[in-house]
Structure 1
Amino acid sequence: MPLAPGYLLRFADLRPHVRLSRQTVLTLEQAGRFPRAVRFGPRCTLWRSADVIEWLNDPEHYRAPWPMESSHGR
């Protein structure tokens, strides 16, 4: 499945594109080096596809914006 902006991705949808373990994604997210997830409760974590595409374009230099700095209307 190709990535397109405007979608929310479960980890199972995200994994084939990023090729990282869940723990690595969470560690990078906490460090601001991976897009911040949207959490809809303790068992529902989703990522915005536009943010993931931005990360894929330059994962080495990606820095997640603080929640109020987002350019995606968050």
Structure 2
Amino acid sequence: MAADAKNTTPNTLPVDGLSRWGAFKPFSPVCRETFRQLSREGRAPQPIRLGIRCTMYSNRELHRWLADPVNYRAEQEAA
């Protein structure tokens, strides 16, 4: 029964916190590689690197992007 719980996907993406690709993949209108390219261009949320193999994304930014993926622009950090 524990294996079944592992395979279920949530119906919504939390508003706060961080998510990996696998958590928001069901909601994404693009594939992983396209999302990565959009992110590099500033047209999708910017990655937050927690380690060599751990990349997360802000759920708030993901919600902004999912609401309007065509017109989304990542906010520039103040220098």
User: Do they fold alike, i.e. is TM over 0.5?
Assistant: yes
Which runs of 5 or more structure 1 residues have no equivalent in the other structure?
A: 70-74
**TM-score (normalised: structure 2):** 0.78
Structure showing greater radius of gyration is 2
Superposed, 1:46-57 pairs within 5 Å as 46-57=56-67
RCO comparison, higher one (Cα < 8 Å, 6+): 1
State the number of aligned residues.
Answer: 69
Structure 1 vs Structure 2: percent identity of aligned residues?
32
**Structure 2: segments with no counterpart, 5+ residues:** 1-9
- Deviations along 1:10-57, whole A, 9 cap, x unmatched? 111011010422211110001111000111122000011110000111
Which of 22, 32, 57 aligns to 2:32? It is: 22
Which residue in the other structure is 1:63 paired with?
73
